[in-house]
Structure 1
Amino acid sequence: MTHTKTKIQLSYFSKKHLKGCFSWGYSLLFVLVVCLTLTVASCKSEVINNSTAKTQNAPSNLTRVVRIGHQRFGALFYLKAKGSLETRLAEIGWSVEWTEFAAGPPILAAIGKGKIDLGYAGVAPPIFAQSDGVPFVYIANDSALPGSIGIVVPQDSPIRTLADLKGKKIAATKKTAGHYLLIRALTQGGLQLKDAELVDLPPAKAREAFVRGEVDAWAIWQPFLAQLQETMPVNFLTDSDGLINDRNFYLASRSFASDFPDIVKIVMGETRKMAVWITRNPERASRFISARRGIKRTTARILTQSRSYDLLPIQDSAVEEQQRISEIFFRLGLLPDRIWIEDVIWKQRLDL
């Protein structure tokens, strides 16, 4: 490289002036060096903090969040009210974000959109979600509890048998256990799904339509059933006993379960502790949830006693039954393709 020498005319500067310039230059250089040193030290400190955060699984200023979707029943509902999961996860730098949903389908939709990490739903929603390509896995299940949902009509309704539902309007939330119960009940009554008019409504809207007489019957689950019975007398056409095993599943985003299996296991462990406590103390549990969530004591008691509060590693019998249900939906044309439940079972072991 060729350098061009520049001749500086020192005659323009007096010695005193030149000395002052060099003094000022050295001062500026010193300040720049100090600033640069502090900046490098600061950056180095930040890298160390980030490394420590990863090693210690996120300190308080970098808290990770597990987002859980729940319904107004089940052990997760009670666990949220108690707050013990927050205490457990805070020890390792995690917090909890709870979201309540009226039914299972929006919980699966939220998992699919990346809005929540874990959820709880009945037999039908996961089947439709799998068919729609939602990336989730089954983590655990409750024990089957026949009789916890039903099809009701107003007490003064002329409808007395399942066969009487022909040509009637029946409120049900599509892609839920209520929807599946309706299919099974109509079959038992010698009817097909096309023989009645299914009015697809979420539980709150369905209740309004039922009370106003805009629909003839309603396929619904707890606690909405108990809340309805507090306001008006109804007759049961059938419950789920002998038609479906009303089982619920704990579900997780596939990516979250893969990236944070230990967090999934902690959440499931704390949920199971709560489930065991509810089962052993149903009256105390009903008082607890009534006080914490503003539910009437009678409704809280029904809510507590109408479900099976436990949590089991996903069972082969549950997988087999889900497959049978999916086959029925497929044969009815409600699923575009056959699915295999085994494809979305979490492979990790839950030591509960």
Structure 2
Amino acid sequence: MRAALSSGLALLLLALLLLAHLVVTPARAEDVLRVGDQRGNARALMEAAGVLDGLPYRLEWSEFPAAAPLLEALNAGAIDAGGVGDAPFTFAAAAGAPVKAFMAFRNRQDGLAILVARDSPIRTVADLKGKRIATNRGSIGHQVVLAALEEAGLPFDGVVFSFLPPADAKIALASGSVDAWATWEPYTSAAELAGLARVVRDGNGITPGLTFTVARDSALAAKRPLLADFAARLAKARAWALEDPAPYAAVWSKLIGLPEAVPLRWFSRAGYRTVPINADVIADEQRTIELYVRAGLIPKARAPRAAAIFDTGFSQAPSQGLTPGLSKVPVAVQ
């Protein structure tokens, strides 16, 4: 299995590296790529992996607490690219933001979860009926609640949403002003390790387990050599972290200021893998779009076609050899 994994990742990395060197306009040292990051994710990974040495351009990082403000910065032209989950990317695309996904990653969804206080009587999704749930509007937390309700046969209005950013949602759950909190990493691992919450339902089997690196259309046109180089380096770093997530966790912990056990739990169970933007990825994104249409969060007339919001020119290597169950997480969102 290790040989097959190495072979598949090698093919993907080779394709990305070739693209980075075959683009028609070479990057120059005075060029700048402005990248948005969430909680130090990509930056800590790439620094820990040592893939940022010898950059032929200047890389400027901007830190964001969640995907929504990162996407707002992209829409405003304050940054060129950034990493986001499939759910907030869907909302941004439906709102007409001039962005496309040009890299895709698969991961397990243990850390995307609906949390309740440890002493809560809530044990199942059915128990959430009529309860108040905190999450960000349009986030992957919002997504997992909708998918869980649908799986349980409950209506989308069967719960009351309190749309709060993660820090406020954590306080709301601790104070009892909400009954549950739908969130993602590193918040899930931090809450579990601190003994503050337990999981009622995670995202495995009901959400695609997709995250994307996205860029403004203008950057895809004007800074394509830089984005190709960045994509190759990020894919190399992801492959490195799969072998041993501990060094990545150590760098992330110092950058963000949370105990090392939090990122180690997160990275070890998530198993992020770079995958090509292929028919499976596009089909899963279409399912997410359709979920939001069914829930009334995106008007049908404004719903984008999944195929139209990807740039497939960066990552088309085959994905054979990826570990079974992680290269494609089963989806029950129909």
The TM-score by the shorter chain falls in which range?
Answer: 0.7 to 0.9
Cα pair 1:104 1:121 within 8 Å, conserved: yes
User: Secondary structure in 2 aligned to 1:78?
Assistant: helix
Residues 1:64 and 2:6 aligned together: no
Residues 1:212 and 2:212 aligned together: no
Once the two structures are TM-superposed, the CA of residue 167 in structure 1 deviates from its matched residue by 1.4
C-alpha separation in 2, matches of 1:78 and 1:282: 9
C-alpha separation in 1, matches of 2:313 and 2:252: 32
The equivalent of 2:277 in structure 1 is 314
Cα pair 1:75 1:275 within 8 Å, conserved: no
C-alpha separation in 1, matches of 2:105 and 2:26: 33
The equivalent of 1:4 in structure 2 is none
Residues 278 and 83 (structure 1), Cα distance of their counterparts in 2 relative to 1, 3 Å cut: closer
Once the two structures are TM-superposed, the CA of residue 311 in structure 1 deviates from its matched residue by 2.1
Cα pair 2:144 2:182 within 8 Å, conserved: yes
Which is higher, the Rg of structure 1 or of structure 2?
Answer: 1
Residues 72 and 292 (structure 1), Cα distance of their counterparts in 2 relative to 1, 3 Å cut: closer
The equivalent of 2:286 in structure 1 is 323
Matches within 5 A, 1:130-209: 130-209=93-172
Once the two structures are TM-superposed, the CA of residue 331 in structure 1 deviates from its matched residue by 2.3
C-alpha separation in 1, matches of 2:267 and 2:107: 15
Cα pair 2:111 2:266 within 8 Å, conserved: no
C-alpha separation in 2, matches of 1:252 and 1:88: 22
The equivalent of 1:79 in structure 2 is 46
C-alpha separation in 2, matches of 1:165 and 1:189: 10
1:299 maps to amino acid: V
Residues 56 and 195 (structure 1), Cα distance of their counterparts in 2 relative to 1, 3 Å cut: closer
Residues 333 and 195 (structure 1), Cα distance of their counterparts in 2 relative to 1, 3 Å cut: same
Cα pair 1:141 1:315 within 8 Å, conserved: no
Return the match for 1:345 from 299, 310, 318.
310
Normalization by structure 1: what TM-score?
Answer: 0.77
RMSD over aligned CA atoms reads 2.1
Once the two structures are TM-superposed, the CA of residue 81 in structure 1 deviates from its matched residue by 5.8
Cα pair 1:139 1:313 within 8 Å, conserved: no
C-alpha separation in 1, matches of 2:220 and 2:209: 25
Matches within 5 A, 1:1-352: 58=28, 63-72=30-39, 74-80=41-47, 84-85=51-52, 87-89=53-55, 92=56, 94-336=57-299, 337-350=302-315
Instruction: List alignment gaps of at least 5 residues for structure 2.
Output: 1-24, 318-334
Once the two structures are TM-superposed, the CA of residue 319 in structure 1 deviates from its matched residue by 0.7
Instruction: List alignment gaps of at least 5 residues for structure 1.
Output: 1-54
C-alpha separation in 2, matches of 1:273 and 1:293: 22
Once the two structures are TM-superposed, the CA of residue 250 in structure 1 deviates from its matched residue by 0.9
Once the two structures are TM-superposed, the CA of residue 309 in structure 1 deviates from its matched residue by 2.6
Once the two structures are TM-superposed, the CA of residue 190 in structure 1 deviates from its matched residue by 2.8
- Pick which of 291-300 and 217-226 moved more: 291-300
1:72 maps to amino acid: R
- Pick which of 246-255 and 232-241 moved more: 232-241
Normalization by structure 2: what TM-score?
Answer: 0.81
1:189 maps to amino acid: A
Once the two structures are TM-superposed, the CA of residue 58 in structure 1 deviates from its matched residue by 4.6
Once the two structures are TM-superposed, the CA of residue 135 in structure 1 deviates from its matched residue by 0.6
* Percent identity of paired positions between Structure 1 and Structure 2: 30
1:302 maps to amino acid: R
C-alpha separation in 2, matches of 1:249 and 1:64: 23
Once the two structures are TM-superposed, the CA of residue 73 in structure 1 deviates from its matched residue by 6.1
Number of equivalenced pairs: 291
User: Which has the higher relative contact order, 1 or 2, with Cα contacts under 8 A spaced 6 or more apart?
Assistant: 2
Cα pair 1:150 1:238 within 8 Å, conserved: yes
Once the two structures are TM-superposed, the CA of residue 320 in structure 1 deviates from its matched residue by 0.5
Residues 58 and 189 (structure 1), Cα distance of their counterparts in 2 relative to 1, 3 Å cut: closer
User: Secondary structure in 2 aligned to 1:324?
Assistant: helix
Cα pair 2:49 2:248 within 8 Å, conserved: no
Cα pair 1:71 1:77 within 8 Å, conserved: no
Residues 158 and 114 (structure 1), Cα distance of their counterparts in 2 relative to 1, 3 Å cut: same
C-alpha separation in 2, matches of 1:126 and 1:177: 10
User: Secondary structure in 1 aligned to 2:236?
Assistant: helix
Once the two structures are TM-superposed, the CA of residue 349 in structure 1 deviates from its matched residue by 3.7
User: Secondary structure in 1 aligned to 2:232?
Assistant: helix
Residues 282 and 144 (structure 1), Cα distance of their counterparts in 2 relative to 1, 3 Å cut: closer
